[in-house]
Amino acid sequence: MKPRLHAWSMSVLALAVFLPAKPAASAEPAEDGRQAYAANCFRCHGQIEQSHALWPESVRPVPVVMAPQGPNLTGMYGRPAGSIPGFRYSNAFRVAAAKGMVWDAATLDRWLTDSQAMIRGSYMFLKLPEPQRGQVIRYLEAYSRSRR
Which regions in the chain score pLDDT beneath 50? 5, 8-27, 29, 51-55, 64-65
**CA distance linking residue 4 with residue 10, whole number of Å:** 10
**Are the CB atoms for 34 and 133 separated by under 8 Å?**
no
β-partners of residue 84 are: none
Question: What domains can you pick out in the chain, each with its CATH number?
Answer: 37-46+73-148 (1.10.760.10)
Residue-wise pLDDT tens digits, 82-93: 999 889 999 999
**CA distance linking residue 31 with residue 45, whole number of Å:** 18
pTM above 0.85, yes or no: no
Residue-wise pLDDT tens digits, 129-139: 999 999 999 99
pLDDT number for residue 27: 45
**CA distance linking residue 104 with residue 35, whole number of Å:** 20
